[in-house]
A and B are shown apart, each in its own frame.
Chain A
Amino acid sequence: MASIKGSRRRGVALHAVLVIGLLLSAFPFYWAVIMSTHTSSEIFSYPPKLLPGSHFLQNVRSLFDNIGFFGSMFNSLLVAVSVTFLVLFFDSLAAFVFAKFEFPGRGLLFALLMAIFMVPTQLAIIPQFVIMAKIGWIGSMTALIVPAAANAFGIFWMRQYMRSAIHDELLDASKLDGANFLRQYWHVALPVVRPGLAFLGIFTFMGQWNDYAWPLIALTNPDNVTLQVALSQLNGVHGTTDYGMVMTGALLALIPLLIVFAVGAKQIIADLGKGAIR
């Protein structure tokens, strides 16, 4: 905020608060890293180990022995990237319409969208499986990609975002210039809402990357699964789980997410208050 520029002391206090938040947020992650360098029994010993151990490479090796790590990572990338692009396009297009246009049935359609958002669809996995089996998509990544190509969450988010981010004068001006609907969407709306898209992209990617319940049911071929499904096969029964290995897998699986976040988050902060809008 503006007044902060003046006060150096306030800046220090601000950073102090932010650092506390940072430590609170990062500590469990740090501990997950520590766990990935220990054996399972070391993890559960007391007092807890706070420094890295020497078991990381063994954990990586037993991980690679147990699951096809890179094959399933490729599948996860395929699914998450395709879904993210489809969602970004379909959701922002629909959101643009809901945010900036008036047409008969708009209220009803949006209410329907919100109602669908609230339906616990994940609770009806059996009929979903039957439908997919009928179409013949069971076992293939299509069963994961197509149903996820548009969602209520993203439309709702982009609509809220566009309502304040796209200024009406801009649309009016482009209309006077003779721009049609698609041109308005592509050349006026999209450039302005880049931060919103970045957010939606990050979280769609993340949601897909971590999705587990449906892929577990839909992907019947063990040689062709997503990473989360592969990782789930590492959980043993009766406490025989090798937590060091499980944690190593979970951490390695995070790397693409962190990259996507680092790239996407730049867009969120992209300084566009300056003049892009006017």
Chain B
Amino acid sequence: MATVPALQEPPAVVADAPAAQPKKGFRKYWHLYVAISPFYLLFLCFGLIPVGFSLYLSFHRWDGLGSMEWAGLSQYQYLLSDSDFWASIGNTLIIWALATFPMIFLAMLTAVMLNSAVRFKNVYRFAYFLPNVTSVVAIAIIFGSVFSTNFGLVNALLQAVGIDQVAWLNTPWGIKVAIATLMTWQWTGYNAIIFLAGLQTIPSELYEAARVDGAGPVQTFFRVTLPLLRPTLLFVLVVSTVTGLQSFTEAQVLLQNTSNDSTFSGGPDHAGRTMVLYFFQQTFDNNDFGYGAAVAWGIFLVVVLFSIINWRLVKRRGEE
């Protein structure tokens, strides 16, 4: 087992050993800069101007067609005092947490099982991939009926064990649980495949070494698999944070029936209105493009903040 910690964080400096005679900055590294440049160039061309424009927009009032009116910082002042926006942050975080942690646990479990099950591997992988590609319309209809009050599968199960019916799509908590379940269902297989790809990079000798040391499967998982899977785990967590905090389709499709007025309203008491749904409602229902832009920047800050927190959490534990 002694080899494990050494492999855990491969030292970054390899090809250009510090011993090599230092050439002057750019001449020595130019090929590296060229290699990473396409992404930055594309962002410069197609990302920067829109992003800059939305920043510009957030200091104005604009209905999308007419002339813009300077608004100074008032959109941001309003954002800070806007209880609807804060509530949408709360909704997003709760739904995100309810979905992400079960999902990561299940995905890792699935990946480990898939990695060890020899037969029918292809069949399982194929099936676990399906939730991610099934049409949203179908998913909305199906989950709508799974969580239906009188006919839903969930309530049938609850009643079978003697618990009262829950009006899932009609109560604030029920809505959040339903959305989180849908997200977990949709993304578990996807992340299991990511973990599986990560598991494949672990050399089988390490498992054999662990077995020789007399480690059981659980011990092996925590002492060999998990440490070596950390880069993948970090990836999954950060991507789940970034995409999860910007989620809206799940809430939209699941609750579109419950809102006679707008598909962006997020159901009773706006319990399913995520940050991005709130952005859409402000921008496209209210034609308030200026405020919508301010909301978008608010979303950005929240996403950055939480990504950093997650990054630090996983990293710190990795360094110990």
Contacts and interface: CB of A to CB of B under 8 A. Distances in A.
Chains A and B directly touch (beta carbon < 8 Å): yes
Interface of A: 1-4, 11, 14-15, 17-18, 21-22, 24-29, 31-32, 35, 43, 46-48, 90-91, 93-94, 96-104, 109, 112-121, 123-128, 131, 146-147, 149-153, 155-157, 160-161, 163-165, 167-168, 171-172, 175, 181-182, 184-185, 195-196, 198-199, 203, 206, 210, 243, 246-247, 250-251, 254, 257-258, 261-262, 265-266, 268-270, 272-274, 277
Contact of A247 (B10, B31, B138, B242): B138
B198 A118 contact: no
B141 A35 contact: yes
Nearest to A104: B25
Q: Which of B25, B50, B234, B242 has the most CB of A within 10 A?
A: B50
B196 interface: yes
B42 A149 contact: yes
Contacts of B296: 120, 123-124
Interface string B290-317: 0011001001100110010000000000
A164 B230 CA distance: 9
> Which of the four size classes fits the interface of chain B?
35 or more
Nearest to A157: B235
Contact of A175 (B11, B15, B64, B283): B15
B16 A101 contact: yes
Contacts, number: 282
A269 B50 contact: no
- Looking at chain A's contact residues, is the secondary structure mostly helix, strand, loop, or mixed? helix
- Looking at chain B's contact residues, is the secondary structure mostly helix, strand, loop, or mixed? helix
17 contacts: A3-B220, A15-B119, A21-B128, A22-B124, A100-B12, A100-B14, A120-B303, A121-B50, A124-B54, A128-B50, A161-B235, A172-B14, A243-B141, A246-B135, A246-B137, A250-B138, A258-B133
Given A1-B207, A1-B220, A101-B16, A29 B130 contact: yes
B5 to A, nearest CB: 13
